[in-house]
Structures are given as structure tokens and as C-alpha cells.
Structure 1
């Protein structure tokens, strides 16, 4: 008699599928990635767990590989594109369609999901949209970089119960604030999420969002447990951030291109090594200076030194991973401080950033 043994070639837990999917996604093989994801569902893995415990951590891992200079920008973009294709393919799996059919009569309402104007990282928002759809919501997924006037036009036309806004990059916070206020002016409560809103969602509260969630699962749970009330009328954005009355953010945001040009011109004498830079190195330096100005302006907007010092330390680590001395940031910070003599909050932030780079280098 032949002994029947239990099959062990198709593990069901999220961890068991992560490495398989990682190999396919980072190899740019969307067909192998889709096959792996559908095989996970066939093996009994819940689709929500696949999205949030396999695909989402995989994407975070891609970001860490880029930061460590082990992935190029092209590899990062390829992996993201493959992950997006996988998410799209999962929508057609029988287990997903069956779950959607089961929830068809339980719709809690309609929700619009969009990225803030200027925010191109759409995958986190896409995950939120898919999880909410699985929970029964009628979802309007508007995608990346949605200009606020177009978002508001959509709200007037479709009348969702809630709008969910996503942003991964802190320099988008001023645009997020404008979008939150504009959405609330239509009577639509706003849920926000994404790394831009800081640890624990500190900037979500500061900017007046009705609900913050750290991930898609928590977003769906919070909307199910306690739907946000309609916001009060006549809310003014300046009420949230009275410190903006000093005009420091306004000045820096309006003069940002001039500030970048000033620093680049002056760096040639302040940092002699630039004389030997290639065109590509000069372009990267200009991009780094522009990022410094962007984060300086955003830190002024939310009045949080930690945002700028955290960015400075992170940039120092990125440069170090690429073989560039982190201290090369210091002349740029000093030149900005010299240019902004009439702006005490900005100068304080730059001094703190200087100290953060020294500590990190």
C-alpha cells in the first residue's frame, strides 16, 4: 500500500510567499509575479493579507534597497510597475470576485481615493482603494497627482461620503493642507495617510484632517467603526497654522528657484571639488539643493524642526551609501543661512540641519 503524505509545497502564510514574489518583482517579470500572487490565493491566502502583508512590505523593501544604493531608480520603478500590475491582476481572481459579490449588498458608501497634487507614489493609495473595495465600499480611485480643483469637481459630481488622500513625501504637505480644506468646504470628511503625515500622523492632526490611518487595514477599520462626521463649514486653513503669519514659508516657497541658483553659483567657490564635477554630478547637486529648500519650506509650514533634521540626516545617509561625503551638504546649508538673514525660523532650522549632518557623518 502506498503511503499518502501531506503536501508541503504550497505554504499558505504571507511570509512563505514573500521571497517568491520578491524574486519575480525585482526581476521585472510581471507574469511570474502575477502567477505567484494568484497561486497564493489558490493556496488559501486571504487577498487582504496578500496585499498588505506581502505586496506592501515588498514595496517598502524596494525603497530600502534604493536608499542603500543597491537598486537604481530604474529598478525601483520597474519593481513598482510590476507590483501595480499584480494588484490589477488580482482583481480578476475568482476568490476576489466572490468576495466582492458577497459584499455587494453591504456597501457602507462611496469613497474617493486620490494622491495629493504633486504626489506620484500611487501604490499606497491603490492598496487603500483595493482594501476598501474588498470591504464593500464603492471606490473611485483617482490615481496619482490629482490637482485639487479637479478633485473638488469630482466630489461635487459624485458626492462621496468620504475622500481619502495619500501622500508619501513631506514637501507635499502644503498642497495636502489646501486639498483637505477644500474637500471639507464641500462638506466631505477627509481621511489621510502616507509617510508624509509623519510619525503617528502628527501632521494629519495639525492640518485638520478628520481621520488619519497608518495603513489600509486600519483605514478600513476606522471607517467601519466610526464614520467621520461632516466637517464644520467656513473652516479657514490659516486657523490651523497661525505661525504662517510671519511669511517665512511664503518667501521661501516663492523664491525657491532663486535660492537654488544662488547656492549653486556660490558653491563653486565654497566647495572647490565642484570644479571637477561632471554634468550629471552638477545636476544631482542641484536636485539635492532643491530638496533641501523644499524640506526647509515644509518644516517652516508645519513648524517642526524634526522634519528638517530628519531629512538632513536621511540625506547624509543616502550620500554616504553612494560614496559622497555627507559633509558636502554643509556648504549648501551655510549658504542658505547666509541668504536668509531676515528669517529667524529658517536660520534656526538650517543650524539644526547642520548639526544633524555633522552627527550623521
Structure 2
């Protein structure tokens, strides 16, 4: 097992899909079950590669390739699982993110517990997911969310699902273990594990009280504006950063952190929208600390995060709540650092 696990990691490191499949086949042929391989090999490898990216030792492209291999092999392994009985309750498992692995593992865990599952991946648009829920009328909708920046996108969708009375269970790293974030975006309940999901499926009524989607309040309206115009705000921040941090004039090369800056800024904007719709300002504190770690691991000075926050505040003029959430995280970091803030002021 240890030798096969080492082979698997080597294949992931090299982006070798065939080598990873061969290692998994050896483990499966040796008698390891599909769930044992997922729990003991695939998930630890995914956690390891995520840590290597965070530490700046892997590029984003390396992480994407390895993650795609892990996802493909979970699909393959799950094909060996016995199908649940046709009269068992149906659960729709959904994610709105490109990385599908957490939701895939969750769906397989439910299938092993005897539930029929339908998985809708990150390429499913909200209307298609809503249509599935309305036509298939599952026991529950389970949404798996790994990235905090995805929470704002989910809230309008879950408002429509709530109108059907179908229970919604939310889980994933995006919630930070806080059930309040889940209920704030319209979920019926929060679960931190497959076991908790199964318990909720046994306890929740088949239909929960319905509620019509509420009209957006000021925070939701600002979050919707952020979501709509992220594709314009991000390039503005990048252009301004390029002006403040010109490339080395002798070689013309951008610093190591520049390659991933577009995705990083876009993620921060998504987190700001999520902070607004949940009313949870700690989201911005968390993403600022995370961004600081990511950039410092890539050789950026501490002033770069300050620049990002300062530049993000400019297009947010006229959106006072967004500016408050943005400024609050800078103040919190300043207090943690001994009282020095970054000067990103909330509107008067």
C-alpha cells in the first residue's frame, strides 16, 4: 500500500494520469475498497498538493492538472460501488465550482450510505440545477462549497429552492465550520461531514416551510453589482498594480506573484460579495490573511496586499456597505499587527 501510495503521488507530481490510474488499479486489485482508496490516498494527496500551492512550491497549473487527475480517478473508483436500491431516497448533490472533488466524495459517501444520488458539477448553471430540483423532487439538495467566494452566487439560487419546500443541506470549507453562513445564504441546515448529512436526512421533514424569494436588500444589491462587474474591476486593479510594480527593466520579467494575480483579485471580490450576503465580515479578514500568505510565499512584500485593498476601494465608491466590509478587514489586520491600519478608510 505504501509503495502504491508513493507511486500515486509521483504520478500526480508529474501530471501523469496513466501512472496514477495504474497505481490505483494496483491498490484496488490488492483488495482495497473504493472508499478506502479515496479516504487514504486521494484525499490526503489533494490536501498535500493544496498545501504545496499555498506555500508557492507548486504553480496553479500543476495544482489544476493534479486535481483533475484526482477527480477523474474518484469517478472511476465510484463505478465499482454497488448501486443503491431503486426505492431509496434521492439526493441531488451540487457544486458551482470548477473543482468538483469535495462534492464528488460527498456524493459517493451518501451512495455508500444507501442513498441514490445525482451529481451536478461545476459547469451546471443555476437555472439547470433549479430545473433538476423541480422535476426530480429529491429528498434534499446538498450543496458543497469549497471556496468562500462562491457563497454569493448560491444565495439567489437557494432562495428559489426554498420556495419549493425541499430541504437544502450545505457543507464545505467555505463555511468555516459556521452554520450561520449556511443559513444566511438560504440553506435549511449545515453539515460538516457525510455522517452529519445522513443524520440530517433522517431528521429533517420531507418538506420544510416554504418562503418566497425575498427582494434583495442593500447588501444583496451591492453583492449582485460586485458579481456582475467583477470582470471589469479585476482588470482595473491589475492595471493599477502593474503601474505601481513595474517589471524589472533589465529583464522585463514579471515577479512570481504576478502570474496568479488575476485569479487572486477575482477571488477577493467574490469573497467581498459573500461577506455582504452573509453579513459575516470575518470572511474578509480571513481572505486578507490568506492572500497575505499566498503573496509572501511568492516573494511579495507586505505592502502588496495593502495596495490591493486600496485599489479595490476605488471602484467601490457609491457602494458604502462593500467599502465598510473591505475597510473592516484592514482595520482588523492593523489591530492584530499592533494598531497600525492600512489606511483603507470606510466611508463617512
Q: What TM-score do you get using the length of structure 2 for normalisation?
A: 0.81
Offset at 1:204? Answer: 0.8
How far 1:322 moved relative to its partner? 0.7
For residues 176-214 of structure 1, what are the alpha-carbon distances to aligned partners after superposition, in whole Å with 9 as ceiling and x for unaligned?
112222222233211222222232343112223123222
Return the alpha-carbon distance in structure 2 between the equivalents of residues 357 and 327 of structure 1. Answer: 13
Cα RMSD between the aligned structures? 3.3
Quick one: which of 70, 90, 99 aligns to 1:110?
90
Check whether the contact 1:178–1:237 (CA below 8 A) recurs between aligned residues: no
Any idea what the Cα deviations from partners look like across 1:131-179, whole Å, max 9, x if unmatched? 2222222221222232121112222332222221122211211221122
CA offsets 1:321-342 (integer angstroms, 9 cap, x no match) = 1111131121232243355455
Decide whether aligned partners of structure 1 residues 51 and 213 sit closer, same or farther in structure 2, where only a CA change above 3 A counts. farther
More displaced 10-residue stretch of structure 1: 177-186 or 273-282: 273-282
Contact 2:110 2:198 in 1 (8 A): yes
2:345 corresponds to? none
Query: Retained in 2: the 8 A contact 1:177–1:237?
Result: no
Residues 45-64 of structure 1 correspond to what in structure 2 (within 5 A)? 45-64=32-51
Deviates more, 1:337-346 or 1:307-316: 337-346
SS in structure 2 of the partner of residue 209 of structure 1: coil
- Superposed CA offset, 1:198-235 (max 9, x none): 32343112223123222334424542x42453121233
Aligned to 1:199, the other structure's residue is in SS state coil
Unaligned runs of 5+ in 1: 1-9
Q: Deviations over 1:40-96 (max 9, x none)?
A: 344444433332343223212211111111112222122112212322332344xx3
Equivalence for 2:183: 205
Whether the 8 Å contact between 2:94 and 2:121 is mirrored in structure 1 is yes
Residue aligning to 1:216: 194
> 1:316 — aligned with what?
292
| 1:164–1:192 CA contact under 8 A, matched in 2 | yes
- How far apart, in 2, do the equivalents of 1:353 and 1:176 lie? 23
More deviation, 343-352/148-157: 343-352
Equivalent of residue 133 in structure 1, options 111, 115, 126: 111
Return the alpha-carbon distance in structure 1 between the equivalents of residues 190 and 245 of structure 2: 47
Q: Which residue of 2 aligns with 1:249?
A: 223
Check whether the contact 1:334–1:350 (CA below 8 A) recurs between aligned residues: no
**8 A contact 1:26–1:78 mirrored in 2:** no
* TM-score using structure 1 length: 0.78
Change beyond 3 A, Cα 1:167–1:183: same
2:10 aligned residue: 23
Q: Is contact 1:127–1:216 with CA below 8 Å preserved after alignment?
A: no
Q: Which residue of 1 aligns with 2:139?
A: 161
Q: Identify unmatched segments of 5+ residues in structure 2.
A: 343-348
Aligned counterparts of 2:233 and 2:268: Cα–Cα separation in 1: 10
1:33, CA displacement in angstroms?
A: 2.8
CA distance in 2, matches of 1:45, 1:90: 11
Across the two proteins, how many residue pairs are aligned to each other? Answer: 334
Match of residue 328, structure 1, among 300, 304, 309: 304
Q: 1:336 to 1:38 in 2, by over 3 A?
A: closer
Give the structure with the higher percent helix.
1
With over 3 angstroms needed to count, the CA separation of the structure-2 counterparts of 1:275 and 1:303, relative to structure 1, is: farther
1:84-123 aligned within 5 A: 84-93=71-80, 96-97=81-82, 100=83, 103-104=84-85, 107-116=87-96, 119-123=97-101
